[in-house]
Every structure is written in C-alpha cells, then in structure tokens.
Amino acid sequence: MNDNILYQNITAQSELSLQARTIRIINVFRLILSLIFVLFSLYVGQENWGETQDASLFFSLSLAYSLFSFTLLLVAPVRSSALVFFNPVQIIIDIFFIIFIMHAAGGIQSGLGLLLIITIVTASLISNGRLALFYAAIATIGLLLEQSYQIAKWMLPISGYSQPAMLSLSCFATAWLGYSFAKRMTQSEALASARGIDLENLAQVNALITEEMQDGVIVIDQFLNIHHHNSQAMPLLTRKKVDDEETIKLSDSAIEIAHVFTRWMHAENISENLIISINNKELKLRLEPINHDSRLYGAVIFIQDWSQIQSAAQQSKLAALGRLTANIAHEIRNPLSAISHANQLLQEEDFNVQNKRMLQIIADNIQRIDQIIKDVLELNRRDRTNQERLSLNQFILDFYTQFCAVEKIPASHFQIPSFKDNLFIAYDQRHLMQILWNLCKNGWEHSQKQVGSLKLNCAKNGRAGLNLEIIDDGEGVAEENRNKLFEPFYTTKTTGNGLGLYISRELAEANGSRLSYQKLDSGSAFILQLQTIN
C-alpha cells in the first residue's frame, strides 16, 4: 500500500516536471514563430502577395500572435492552478491562430498547416497524451472549415479536400504517437526517480551499517580517492575533508595505508590481511576488492585495532587462568592447613634455637602462601560486586582510623582532607576498603615514614567526577617499570607477591572506576577515579 502511494507521488512529480519543461519549450517556440511571421510580413511587403493571399490580415494576425506569445511567456513563471487549467485553452488558441494565418497566406497550399503537427506534438506532452486526440480533432475541424471556405470563395474542385484530409490524418497519427511517447516518458521518469530513491535508501543503510561496525572502514578507488569512511576510521585520517572538496586522497591522510594499498593493488601475491604500525598502534588491514575480477578498480579497507584484539585474547586467557588458579588455591588450602597445624605442634616442643628458627621460617612461609591464596580467591570474586550507596566522608574516616590502628601508623604521618561537602558514591564497600588498604599500605612502605609522608586527597574531576589520590613522598617507580606496575606477580619488594596492585585495578574496574599511577615532582600518586551520585 505504501509502495503504491510512493509510486503515485513519484509519477505525479514526474508529470509536473515533464509538463513544466514542455510549457517552457512551447512558449519560446510560439514567440519565435510569431516574430518570424511578423518579420516575413514586413520583409515581403503588401504589394508582393498573391490574389488568394491577404497581406494585411496576415500581418495583423502575426502581430496579435506575437503579443499573445509574449504575454504567455511573461506569466509562465507564475505558479497558479488557473494557469494549469488555461493550458488547453492556449493550445486551442494556437491551433486557431495557425489556421487563420494559414488562411491569410493562401490556405492549405501555403504549407503552414504543417505547423499544426508540431503544436499537437508539444500539446500531447503538456497534457501527458490525455487531450492529444482532442487537439487533433480541433485541428481537423479547423482545416476542413478553412478548406470549405476556400472552395466556396474561389470555386475550387472538390478534390481540394485531399490535402486537408491527409494533413488531418497526419495530425491524428501524430497525436497518437505523442500520446504513446508521453506515457512512456512519464513511466520512465517515474521508474528512474523510484530507482534513485531506492539507491539513496540503500546508501543510507550501508552508511548506517558501517557506522555501527567496530572496525574502521575506508572505501577508495584506484586513484586513492576516499569515497566513504566511518567514524571508527576518522582517527587515522590526519587531513579532514573541506566543504568545497569533493573527495580527499588517502595519500594525504594516511600515507602508511596508501603504501599498503598501492602494493596490494599491483601485486597479486600480497595477502588481503596485513598488519602495520601507525602512531605506536598495531593495525590489522583487510582489503576487499570492489571488483572481484581485478584489484585495479579500488578496494574496501577494513581496519582492526590489533592491540585491542590481542588484549581481549589476553584477558580471556587471564580469566581462564584465574579460574584454574582459584581451583588450585582452594585445593592447596587443605594440606597447607595440615602443615600449619603440624608446625604449631612442633613449635611447642623444646628444640634448640636453630630448630626453632627453622620452624619460624616454615610458619612465615605458610602465612605468605596463605596470603597468596586469599588474594587469588579474592581476584576470582571480582565480578561479584555488591554496590551500595556509600557516604564517602564517613567511609574515609572509618578507613583512616582502622588503617592507622592495624598498620601502627602515627596519625601525623598519614593525613586526610577535611571534607566540606557530603559526597556519595555507588561502590562495593568491601572492594573499596581492599583497594584503599592495598594502595595506602604500598605507599607507606615506599615512603620516608615522616610527618605527612602519606596523604589521601579528594579532588573533583568535572561535574560528577571525583579523584581519590593516595600520595607518598617515596622515590616512585622507575620509568622503565611503569608499564609493568599493574601486571600480576610483579613486585620490587622481597616479601611481596605482586598481586596487590593488580587486584586493586581489577576490583576498581569491576566497580566501574579506573585506577592509574602518576609520577610527581616529589613522590608519586595512585589515582582512583570515581563517580558521585545524589
């Protein structure tokens, strides 16, 4: 139903377009023809006309016809429904003018009757063929009446009707051909318009699909002109399109990709999948030819961030490894408990100092293994968050009191801000406690352990953003080791297991926040980015 309505609207628009063009043509033709008649009348002069011709009538009709044509040419740009209904009247007036001018020129023998065929053809296009036979009938009646008048006036033989009859048949044949041509032309324009709309809709669908893709997409031709690209490919194009430019060249925007495409286009043995490096990022390119018979017509380039793919694969491996280590850690706990119990029983015996020292070493390592097991099990539970609405002010005060008491840190050595506003966040309380504990303990162990060596600051970041900064006055992390800082089991301490910072970052990401490290002029800082709520 909707397709039929759309087709009817397109057909109506095509008819109006065809009709408007034809009206302009016939108005110009009418004016030129009338002026030719006027100039011809002035050039020949009245004394050179024949007995059956009327020079003064010819000049008067030509002048009236030119004034009529000029008037219609002036009012043609005016868009009015009245003028549309006046179009058939114009054609009838044209027919009468031509017949009268033909009569003044000597009748059917003058040959001006052939102008009726041109008028009927253009009239058929104006009316889309619907009134073509009607115009032919009007012209036929006019021709026969004019010839009857000539026969009655000049006593001509009855055979004089042969020429008007043949011209009348030509008018009807021309009208029928004009009707068929106008109908076919209207259908062709409607079909072309419908196909244009389909192509435009298809282009919009293709653009929408490419915009929703995770990969970057660039469509180029053999001359390296970029015809289309999606938003994911925008960061790779250093030169943006200017409004007065039709296209931009790939060689001006991404020279590395342009070199790869040029080599791929001229070498059949180069693979469609290539990996290149741009701005310290590894990109995987997949080139698909536009024409599968030849690579010389351009290509569609699909761009993937290879580093993200590798990172996703690494995360998948780490997730599987985490589940495996969690199961192993759970199985280790039972024999470890038995070893710890046996070690405690041995410590109750009366051994010499050397044996007691060895038992203490066993106890310390049992405690260290147990801590590793706790950390691994906690890491495996990072996806099970229980977020709740927390008052950040009260939480930090409680954490500060508990941390200083457990870690035996003087209050003057660990400073926290005095809050003015009551801030609220959505966070898992147990996870936030563990994150801050790990960061503050790490900062205290690397600080100079003086007054103000450890600080916990709170700074706003935007409208709803909030940064918790744990600052210490230690030497910080060396630049070559910073990229390994949050890797599991990486540590610079002899007694650490290297899981504290890794677990802290994982728990932060599980709660929708971000943990980062920043080197300061004096010391270093870990920044936990949070979002406040009402």
471-509 pLDDT per residue, tens: 998 888 877 777 777 777 667 665 666 677 888 888 888
Apex 73 CA angle, 70 and 76, nearest 5:
150
Whether CATH 1.10.287 fits 309-380: yes
More confident residue, 500 or 94: 94
The lowest-confidence range among 129-133, 157-161, 241-245, 347-351 is 241-245
In Å, how far from its chain's centre is CA 352? 80
For residues 381-394, average pLDDT:
78
pLDDT for 211-233, tens place per residue?
778 788 888 888 888 888 888 88
Contacts of 342 (CB under 8 A, 6+ apart): none
pLDDT the model gives residue 185: 79
Q: Order of strands across the sheet with 294-305? A: 248-249, 225-229, 216-220, 294-305, 281-291, 273-278
The CA-to-CA distance between both ends of the chain, in Å, stands at: 52
Reported as a pLDDT band with limits 50, 70 and 90, residue 237 is: confident
Rounded to whole angstroms, the Cα distance separating 199 from 197 reads 5
Cα torsion angle, 329, 331, 337, 342, sign: negative
With DSSP H G I counted as helix, E B as strand and the rest as coil, what are the percentages for the chain, rounded to 5?
60, 15, 20
- Residue intervals of the chain classified under CATH 1.10.287 are 309-380
Q: Measured between alpha carbons, how far is residue 57 from residues 32, 41, 341 in Å?
A: 19, 10, 136
The SS3 of residue 184 is: helix
CATH H superfamily, domain 214-307: PAS domain (3.30.450.20)
Rounded Cα gap, residues 130 and 124, in angstroms: 7
Q: Would you state the structure tokens that stand for residue 142, as one six-digit string? A: 């006019």
Q: In this model, does residue 317 exceed pLDDT 70?
A: no
pLDDT interval class at 148 (50, 70, 90):
very high
- Where in the chain are all domains bearing CATH 3.30.565.10? 387-533
- 279 by DSSP, 3-state: which? coil
For residue 161, the tally of other CB atoms under 10 A from its CB is 17
| pTM metric for this prediction | 0.42
The residue-averaged pLDDT of 322-350 equals: 79
Distance (Å) of CA 82 to CA 24, 75, 79, 125, 443: 17, 11, 9, 19, 89
Predicted local distance difference test score (pLDDT) of residue 166: 93
Q: Is the dihedral of CA 271, 277, 282, 287 positive or negative?
A: negative
Answer whether 259's CB lies under 8 Å from 249's CB: no
Rounded CA separation 415/458 (Å): 12
DSSP string, 225-254: EEEEE-GGGGGG-SSPPPTT-S-EEHHHH-
Q: Which pairs with CB-CB distance under 8 Å and at least 24 residues apart come from 150-157?
A: 150/52, 150/103, 150/107, 150/108, 154/52
pLDDT at 12: 46
- Specify the domain boundaries for CATH 3.30.450.20 within the chain: 214-307
387-533 is classed in which CATH architecture? 2-Layer Sandwich (3.30)
